[in-house]
Amino acid sequence: MTVSLGRVTGYSAAERAKLDQATRLIGNVLNSREFRDAVLGATFDGKPGFASETRSPQQVYAAIRAAKENFTSAADGDVDLNVGLESFSWFQRSTVGYTTPSSDTVTTNRRFFSGFTPAEVAGHLGHEWLHKLGFEHDFKATARRPSSVPYELGELIETLAKGPLTPLS
């Protein structure tokens, strides 16, 4: 898999450097055996799978590998990321970032980005990118939400990004 940055808005040179590190980490993780094995081995409620998701771990992994975002036509194995960095208003100060189903862009709150490590940025962008593949989670912080595809695999991307990885052969 590859990771491609398309439109990048609002990032300073220093912020862009962290963003570039994060996108490299996403690629390393998605192409690792550790990521594959964790996705294929995921369980929720004692059964293979994820919360808020009817697809099997194999189907979830296949969708990730295909990387067909809702705003692109190609299942090309390429992670397409359009990103914006903004200083969110006081009313949104607790929001790390967001995307919407009709948007092709992931918008991130500078307040969080500035304190994030590249691995944390990778996890955040991974979470939002998984929404672009059609994966969802509960809006409220329910008990099952951490087991949804965006939350569980966003966390997994962050964790794996910190460590040594074995490339898929």
Give the nearest distance from C-beta 101 to Zn ion in angstroms: 11
Nearest residue relative to Zn ion (C-beta): 150
Give the nearest distance from C-beta 52 to Zn ion in angstroms: 11
Give the nearest distance from C-beta 136 to Zn ion in angstroms: 8
* Number of residues in contact with Zn ion under rule CB under 5 A: 1
Q: Of residues 139-168, which lie at the interface with Zn ion (CB under 5 A)?
A: 150
Cβ atoms within 10 Å, residue 100: 9
CA distance 126 to 101: 15
Given the complex with Zn ion, which of 61 and 129 has the nearer CB atom? 129
**Is residue 97 a contact point for Zn ion (CB under 5 A)?**
no
Given the complex with Zn ion, which of 57 and 150 has the nearer CB atom? 150
CA distance 77 to 86: 28
Given the complex with Zn ion, which of 35 and 129 has the nearer CB atom? 129
Given the complex with Zn ion, which of 35 and 135 has the nearer CB atom? 135
Give the nearest distance from C-beta 110 to Zn ion in angstroms: 19
Tell me the CA distances in angstroms from 36 to 51, 53, 54, 59, 115, one per residue in order: 18, 18, 19, 12, 29
- DSSP codes of every residue in 90-137: GGGTT--EE--TT-SEEEEEHHHHTT--HHHHHHHHHHHHHHHTT---
CA distance 54 to 60: 9
**Residue numbers at the binding site for Zn ion (CB under 5 A):** 150
